[in-house]
Amino acid sequence: MSTSNIINPALFFADDNLIGDKVEKSVRRMKDLKGIFQDEAAFLQIQEEKLVYEVSSFLPVKEGTPGGLYFGITYLYPGKVGDEYFMTKGHFHANIDRAEFYWGLKGEGMLIFMDEQRKVWAERMFPGSLHYIPGGIAHRVANTGNQMLSFGACWPSDAGHNYEEIAQNGFACRLVDRNGVPNLI
Ligand SMILES: [Fe+2]
């Protein structure tokens, strides 16, 4: 057996950074999150170019391919719009029965779930926390700390994203800061 068929991985982690030639990066700025936060006056006070979150992802197969997997790391900045924590847009999967794993890498936050009957609950995220998001459940993440929250995700390549439902109807509860404590109201 020669060593010529032993190669280095194409992807690796350095701390919570995903490194590799095929890593794609995307950003969401304040202006991409219009209508997500309750306090519109507070929203308008914030620079529309302000970064809210960035995503590094590895998408090895074409979107929609059955049986493949995608991998991503999200970096969600700390901050609030009024008393509501910075958060991701949130989505159901377009193929609604597809599940996903999230796991906490750095910082602290909350993974907010909502089922199709609009029942909402949340799990604390912290370095090492692992979260199974079943099919049929909308999900979004809020940064409840003072530093960057980073978390990993792994989801099926045929899950897709249905952002529309959440953009139109929101979640049934909001995660707000009440005297320094996150409250789901
Ligand atoms: Fe998802």
pLDDT digits over 166-184, tens only? 999 999 999 999 999 999 9
Residue 107 contacts residue 100 (beta carbons within 8 Å): no
CATH number of the domain that residue 105 is part of: 2.60.120.10
Mean pLDDT across the stretch 141-146?
98
Q: Is the pLDDT of residue 1 over 70?
A: no
**Spacing, Cα 82 to ligand 1 middle (Å):** 26
Mean pLDDT across the stretch 144-151?
98
Q: Is the pLDDT of residue 162 over 70?
A: yes
Domain count, the chain: 1
**Spacing, Cα 38 to ligand 1 middle (Å):** 22
Considering the domain boundaries, does residue 7 fall inside one? no
Considering the domain boundaries, does residue 73 fall inside one? yes
Which residue range forms the structural domain that includes residue 155? Answer: 13-184
Please state, for a pLDDT cut of 90, what percent of the chain lies above it. 96
pTM of the model: 0.95
Considering the domain boundaries, does residue 149 fall inside one? yes
Longest dimension (CA), the chain: 67
Considering the domain boundaries, does residue 168 fall inside one? yes
**Spacing, Cα 48 to ligand 1 middle (Å):** 25
Cα distance between residue 78 and residue 147, in whole Å: 6
Considering the domain boundaries, does residue 52 fall inside one? yes
pLDDT at 13: 87
Closest CA to 134 of 150, 161, 113: 113
**Spacing, Cα 75 to ligand 1 middle (Å):** 15
Cα distance between residue 134 and residue 100, in whole Å: 7
* Confidence class for position 17, pLDDT limits 50, 70, 90: very high
Please, what is the average pLDDT of the chain? 96
Considering the domain boundaries, does residue 137 fall inside one? yes
**Spacing, Cα 121 to ligand 1 middle (Å):** 16
Residue 160 region, left (φ>0) first, then alpha (ψ -120 to 50), else beta?
left
Task: Return the half-sphere exposure (C-beta side, CA atoms, 13 A cut-off) of residue 62.
Answer: 2
pLDDT digits over 60-78, tens only? 999 999 999 999 999 999 9
Query: Which helix (H) or strand (E) covers residue 164, if one does?
Result: helix 164-169
Considering the domain boundaries, does residue 47 fall inside one? yes
**Spacing, Cα 155 to ligand 1 middle (Å):** 7
Considering the domain boundaries, does residue 5 fall inside one? no
Cα distance between residue 48 and residue 45, in whole Å: 9
